[in-house]
Amino acid sequence: MIMNNILKKLIIMQLIIVLLSSVAYAARIKDIAKIKGMRRNQMVGYGLVVGLNGTGDGKDSKFTVQSMSSMLDKLGVTVRPDDIDVDNVAAVIVTADLPPFSKAGSSIDVTVSSIGDAENLQGGNLLFTPLKAADGKIYAVAQGAVSTGGFSAGGAGGKVQKNFPTVGRIVNGAIIEREVHSNFSQKKTISLILNYPDFTTASRVTGAINTAFLYDHPAVTSDPGSIVVKIPEKFAENIVEFITIIERMEIIPDTIARVVINERTGTVVMGNNVRISTIAIAHGNLSIQIKESADVAQPLPFSGGQTVVSTDTNIYVEEENRKLLLLKSGISIGELVRALNALGVTPRDLIAIFQSIKAAGALQASLEIM
- What are phi and psi for residue 187, nearest 5 degrees? -70, 145
The answer as to whether 5 is a domain residue is no
Q: Report the number of distinct structural domains present in the chain.
A: 3
Same domain, 246 and 325: no
Task: Determine the 3-state secondary structure of 123 from DSSP.
Answer: coil
> Domain limits at 343?
259-288+318-369
> Strand 107-114 relative to strand 267-270: parallel, antiparallel, unpaired?
unpaired
Same domain, 204 and 276: no
Length of the chain: 370
Averaged over successive runs of 10 residues, the pLDDT of the chain (370 residues) comes to 48 47 68 88 93 82 82 83 80 93 92 89 91 93 88 58 80 92 82 92 92 87 91 87 91 85 79 76 55 64 68 57 60 67 72 80 81
The answer as to whether 170 is a domain residue is yes
The answer as to whether 114 is a domain residue is yes
> For position 288, what pLDDT does the model report?
42
Q: How many helices (H) and strands (E) does the chain have?
A: 7, 23
Question: Do residues 243 and 224 lie in contact, with contact meaning Cβ atoms separated by under 8 Å?
Answer: no
> For position 162, what pLDDT does the model report?
64
Same domain, 324 and 357: yes
The answer as to whether 195 is a domain residue is yes
Same domain, 61 and 172: yes
Quick one: which of 208, 215, 200 has its CA closest to 19? 208
The answer as to whether 311 is a domain residue is no
Measured distance CA(334)–CA(332) in Å, rounded: 5
> For position 169, what pLDDT does the model report?
92
> For position 303, what pLDDT does the model report?
66
Task: Determine the 3-state secondary structure of 268 from DSSP.
Answer: strand
Same domain, 277 and 348: yes
> For position 85, what pLDDT does the model report?
74
> For position 313, what pLDDT does the model report?
57
> For position 13, what pLDDT does the model report?
47
> For position 77, what pLDDT does the model report?
84
> For position 54, what pLDDT does the model report?
83
